[in-house]
A and B are shown apart, each in its own frame.
Chain A
Amino acid sequence: MTILQQIINGLVLGHAYALVAIGWTLLLGVARLVNFGHGQMYMLGAFVTWWAVVKAGVPYALALPMAMAVGALVGVFMQRVMLKATFEQNLVSIMIMTLGFGYVLHGVASIVFGSTGQILETALSRRDIELGELWLTWQDAAIVVAAVVVFVGLRWLLDGSRIGRLVRMVAEDPKLAMLTGVNVRRVYYGVFAFEGAAVAFAAGMVAPRTPILTSMGFEEVIMTFVVVVLGGIGSVTGSYVAGVALGLFTALFSALVSPAYTTAAVFLVLIAVLVLRPGGLSARVAAGAH
């Protein structure tokens, strides 16, 4: 395989990472919350999409919003359970609760969907785009487009809309936001619903690339965590850049060095970045924006 093909693979993978991380980015940026159940919510989104398409015969285009609705409900339920800890910004409790919630989701999914791997195929993932030597599926192209659209859309929503202004108020000072008439509780619910829907959407888009397993959550939460931290905690633009960079790094490292040590290498890079630039890759952007 040529280097150019690896770069294409890396770009697709990177956009997939970024898309999967977007919900957590907003969660961290606005509510200063972490969600270590994120990976299992990804898994659930993938399985709901798979179930809808394969078992229920729902068209893929309808299965995606179905998965998003389930994801949003799960997100709102989690936030309901953690609301007190959220207002107190009790991060240790939230970390443990979300981690536990992820394992519960894993268990429930194993009972409902079984523990064998499944293949989620879509009309797009079965068709290839070939450009001379180079190759990718239409699903890959759709992932890149979806990631760009979601990031640009979110950026616009945060910077240019009234809702975005309110969300930024809560991000900066939830107490002061209350005094401007913001229902902070509702914003927290909204952000968690977005997290759930966004990760389910990402799962529906990205999961067709690989076999899906109910145990795949851990790998996803780890990579997402790397993207969010590398990007600069809570920075929307930063996590897009970090996602794409991580995808390129992963693809090139596994092609040129060794696929077996990719995750280890990724964490070496993460640690190096955190030592050299504690605020993440886009530290300056993050300080100016959010």
Chain B
Amino acid sequence: MSQPVLDIRRLRVSYAGNRALDLDALSVAAGEVVGVVGANGAGKSTLVNAVAGWSRGTPSVEAQISLDGRRLDAWPTHQRVRAGLVLVPEGRVAFGRMSVDDNLCTAFTPAAQGADEGRHIYSRDEVYALFPRLHERRHHLGHQLSGGERQMLGIGRALMMGPRLLMLDEPSIGLAPQMVEQVLGTLKLLARKGLAILLVEQNVRAAIEVVDRLVLIERGRKVLEGAASEMGNDPRIAEAYLGASTT
């Protein structure tokens, strides 16, 4: 049994004293895509934000978070990012007043951060090869991009930081169906190369196509966890999130 890339234990997050998330354990292995699903406000974003040590609000977080066996729950955001724990947040992922080229710029040189532990560091050209659409628009400003292009930009920038674990918060939100397919399909491709991926999705139908394991969160607690293939048949998932009729 190899060590998981990400290991979370006893994660508790509150906003102004109100418990938003209470999770005992969750781990992601190399090459695995774990999907976190649940209703709006269930605590999905809270989960990935807490792992990244990041938030646009002011939560109080208690957790034991290890990346490749190294505890980093006391580290500031930028250090976690440099260690390979990379988040593409929900909503604003592009710098609107910067060109696509400039957006694809990292604050550090991942190679100098000891990226020998199996971290694949993408160059800007590799990102453009992965998302040819971005290459076409490389001189456009961030705010001129469509929602799908912004997600590509966010994922592209994340890959340039040589992630060990890539976390994505609702990448499909506001995207056209074929764009969802392309963005999520890319994740599967990346996982096949050994990347560990934690995907937060409200679009369960799309997520279930790409994830290996599905975690259902309701009101800040994990209520179900299992292989995606089995979870699709679970009535709780099928009825509430896939809109299946129970015939």
Contacts and interface: CB of A to CB of B under 8 A. Distances in A.
Same assembly: yes
Interface of A: 162, 165-166, 168-169, 172-173, 175-185, 288-290
Interface string B149-172: 000000001000100000000000
Contact of B97 (A172, A177, A185): A172
27 contacts: A162-B105, A166-B107, A168-B98, A169-B98, A169-B105, A172-B96, A173-B95, A175-B54, A176-B89, A176-B92, A178-B54, A178-B78, A179-B52, A179-B86, A179-B88, A179-B89, A180-B107, A181-B78, A181-B81, A181-B82, A181-B106, A181-B108, A183-B78, A183-B107, A184-B78, A288-B97, A289-B97
Contacts of B45: none
A172 B96 CA distance: 8
Sort A-B residue pairs by CB-CB distance and give the 3 closest, nearest first: A181-B107, A182-B107, A178-B77
Interface in B73-109: 76-78, 81-82, 86-89, 92-93, 95-98, 102, 105-108
Nearest to A165: B105
Interface in B155-200: 157, 161
A180 B93 CA distance: 10
Contacts of B157: 180
Given A168-B102, A176-B89, 7 more contacts: A169-B98, A176-B93, A178-B81, A179-B87, A179-B89, A180-B157, A183-B78
A143 to B, nearest CB: 32
Residue among A172, A175, A176, A179 facing the most chain B CB atoms (10 A cut-off) = A179
B92 A182 contact: no
A180 B81 contact: yes
Contacts of A181: 78, 81-82, 106-108, 161
B92 A173 contact: yes
A182 B78 contact: yes
A176 B89 CA distance: 8
Contacts of A288: 97
A74 B92 CA distance: 35
A162 B108 CA distance: 10
| A165, A172, A177, A181: most-surrounded residue (chain B CB, <10 A) | A181
Contacts of B98: 165, 168-169, 172
Contacts of B106: 180-181
Contacts of B52: 179
Contacts of B92: 173, 176
Nearest to B89: A179
**Which among A182, A289, A290 has the highest number of chain B CB atoms within 10 Å?**
A182
Nearest to B157: A180
A178 B85 CA distance: 12
A100 B29 CA distance: 54
Contacts of A178: 54, 76-78, 81
Contacts of A289: 97
Name the residue among B52, B92, B93, B105 with the largest chain A CB count within 10 angstroms: B105
Contact of B161 (A175, A176, A180, A290): A180
A179 B77 contact: yes
B89 A169 contact: no
Nearest to A171: B97
Contacts of A172: 95-98
Contacts of B108: 181
B61 to A, nearest CB: 15
A180 B76 CA distance: 13
Contacts of B81: 178-181
B95 A176 contact: yes
A185 B92 CA distance: 21
A55 to B, nearest CB: 43
Contacts of A162: 105
Pick the most buried of B77, B87, B93, B107: most chain A CB atoms within 10 A of its CB: B107
